[in-house]
Structure 1
Amino acid sequence: MKVSVWDTYVQRKDGNIMHFDILVPNNITDEEIIINFGKLYLKSKPFETGKLTSSECNFCHVEQATDDIVKNIEKLGFHIIEMEHCN
């Protein structure tokens, strides 16, 4: 499966900036859908964050998904790769 990678940076209320990637099937191009996936992910966090808008989330590239990413996308519709200050 080919996936689009959306590079995302969100300000946390404690001052740190979260950096994570939102991966979606590459046929999903509607930014509102992708941002809503990011918001759903942020709700799972035990800390408060700032807003997630198209200013914080930008298309980066397309890549081939691993089996684990495909399974997660089949289950949730998206996959998150946590990079910085996500926990």
Structure 2
Amino acid sequence: MKIAVWDTYVKKNDGKLMHFDILVPEDQSNEQIVYNFGNDYLLKKKVNAVKLSAKECQYCHMENASEAIVEEIQLKGYYIIEMENCN
């Protein structure tokens, strides 16, 4: 499965910059849906952030997904890769 990678940066409550990627199916082109996925992730992480927009979250590139990522996308619609300061 080809996926779209959305590069996302959010300032956390402690001032650190949180960096994560939102992975969605390649045909998911509705930005607001991608932002909603990111906002859902931030709620689970208890990060009080502004609603995601193009300022924090932008399409980056396409790539092939591993089987584990494909399974998660089929369940939830998206997958998150935690890059920096996500804990």
- How many pairs are equivalent? 86
Report the TM-score when normalising by structure 1.
0.95
**Does the 8 Å CA contact 1:22/1:79 hold for their aligned counterparts?**
yes
**Does the 8 Å CA contact 1:10/1:49 hold for their aligned counterparts?**
no
Percent of counterpart pairs with the same letter?
A: 51
Show the counterpart of 2:83. Answer: 83
**Does the 8 Å CA contact 2:42/2:49 hold for their aligned counterparts?**
no
Report the TM-score when normalising by structure 2.
0.95
Question: 5+ residue gaps in structure 2?
Answer: none
Distance 2:29 2:62 in 1: 12
Query: Root-mean-square deviation (CA), in Å?
Result: 0.8
Residue identity matched to 1:27: D
1:18 correspondence with 2:18: yes
Show the counterpart of 1:33. Answer: 33
Distance 2:82 2:23 in 1: 11
Residue identity matched to 1:68: A
Aligned-pair distance for 1:33? Answer: 0.3
Question: 5+ residue gaps in structure 1?
Answer: none
SS of corresponding position for 1:58:
strand
